[in-house]
Structure 1
C-alpha cells in the first residue's frame, strides 16, 4: 500500500487551512497514495491555545469533519485526519482527536491524544492541559490489510502505547513538534519506535514558521521496520510518499524475531 505523509504550515484561518489540506490530499492521491495522513492541528494553529475552543466540533458534525469525509470519498483515500478539536465533557476543554476516514467517507476510528505536552526552558513554555482533556484508550484500524496504530505527537515519547498495538504493520504519528525538541529528538524517536516494533511509521508534521510566531520542526517522514528513513520533507508544505511492503516486514521479522522473543 502506498502511503503519504502531508506536511503543512497551518495558520489561524480555519478556511485557509482546510483549503490547503484538501489541495495537499489531492496531491497525495495524484501520486498514487491509497492512504494519506495529515499533521496535528492541521485545521488551526491559533494565536493562543484557547482558539481551539471556538472551532471545536461535536463528533459527526462540523466543517472540518465534512471536509475530511468529502475528500476521502471523492479522492478514494483512507485519510488519517491529523487532529481536530472535539468537544469534551468539561467546559473550556476539548479533546485533541484523530479521526480516520475510509474511502466511503465513513469514520472508522477515533483516537484522543493521551499524553499532554508540557515544556518550559525559560524561553518557550507550553502546557496543553490548560485547554485539552486527555484521552485514555489506544485505537487502531485496518486498511487494505494493513493494521495501523494511532498516536499523536508527544505520545511518541511513551513506547508502552506503541507496544499495545503489536502486532501491527504501521504506526501513525501526526505531530506539531517544536523546533527545539524536534531538532534533537524527532527522528531519533520515530526510528526507535519503528525498530522496536518492527513496523513502518508514518509521521506527518507541521513544518515551518507560523503566523502566531511559533516555529515547528517539520521533517515529515516515513520510516521502515529496519529504521531506514524512506522519505522526508524538512520544511514547508508538501507530501512525501513510500510503500508499506509486507514482504519487507516479513523479512525483517523473520531475520530478527525480536517480537517473538519478548518476555515482559
Structure 2
C-alpha cells in the first residue's frame, strides 16, 4: 500500500475555508502524482492544535464543512483518507478532538475521539471531552490503529490496539518544536515495541505562537525510518508492505513473551 503524509503548514492568516480547499487539492494530487492509496493529514489542521481561543468558534459538527470537503476529496481521488482531526461539537456533549477516516468512495467509515488530552490544567485538557474507544481500520492488507498526538506518550494505548489486530498506527499531531526529539523517539519506540508501522503526521507553521515540530515520520516494524520530513510543509510518500509486519513478528516473536496485560 502506498501512503502519502501531508505535513500541512497552518498559517493563522490563511482563512479556514481557503485552507480546506487547498488541502482538498493536495489530497487529490497524491493519487494523481504519486499513486497514493492512503493519504494522512495532521491533527486539528483547520484551527491549529494550540489555538485554544479558536476552539469554540471554529468547532463544527461531525458532518460539517471539513467532513464535506474531505469526503469529496477522498471520493474524487479514490483514496483512503485519514483526514486528521477537527474540533467536533457534539450537540449532546462537550467538544472533542475527533479524527475522520474516509473510504475511497468518500464514505466516513470510522471516527476516533482523542483519549489523552494535552494541556494538564488548561487548553485541550479542560475544553474537550476524552474519547473512550480503541479504533482500528482495515485497508490495503493492513489494520491501522488510530491515535492522536499526545496519545503517542501512552504505550498501553498502542498495546491495546495491537490486541485489537493493529499492524500499523496512524498518528496525526500538532507537536511543538521544543519537544521534537520526543516526537521522533516515541514514534520509533511505538514501532519497535509493537512490531508495527507508524505513520506520524505533524503540522508545520506556528499555532498561537507555538512553533510546530514538523518532521512527520514513517517507521517500519523493525524501527527503521523509511521517510522523515523537515520543518516546512512537505509530503512524504512511502510503500507499506503488510508481509513485513508478519515477517518481523515471526523472526523476532517478542510479542509472544508478554506476561502483563
Q: Normalized against structure 2, the TM-score is what?
A: 0.92
Q: Is there any run of 5+ residues in structure 2 with no aligned partner, and where?
A: none
From 236, 249, 262, give the equivalent of 2:245.
249
Q: CA RMSD in A?
A: 1.8
Match of 2:200 in 1: 203
Which residue of 32, 44, 52 corresponds with 2:55?
52
Separation in 1, partners of 2:211, 2:57: 23
Q: Distance in 2 between matches of 1:127 and 1:54?
A: 14
Corresponding residue for 1:83? Answer: 85
What SS does the aligned partner of 2:199 have? strand
* Preserved CA contact (<8 Å) 1:46 1:52: no
Q: Alpha-carbon deviations, 1:26-73, whole Å to 9, x = none?
A: 23222111001100011122884131222222222x211001100110
After the TM superposition, which segments of 4 or more aligned residues of structure 1 sit over 6 Å from their partners?
none
Structure 1 residue 163, shift from structure 2 partner: 0.7
Q: Does 1:171 align with 2:162?
A: no
Relative to the length of structure 1, the TM-score reads: 0.91
Q: How does 1:96-175 map to 2 (within 5 A)?
A: 96-118=97-119, 127-166=123-162, 167-175=165-173
Q: What does residue range 179-218 of structure 1 map to in structure 2 within 5 Å?
A: 179-182=177-180, 184-210=181-207, 212-218=208-214
Equivalent pairs, count: 255
In the alignment, the residues of structure 2 paired with residue 222 and residue 85 of structure 1 have an alpha-carbon distance, to the nearest angstrom, of: 25
> Which residue is 1:7 aligned to?
7
The residue aligned with 1:258 is 254
Pairwise CA distance, 1:146? 1.4
Structure 2 distance, partners of 1:48, 1:117, is 13
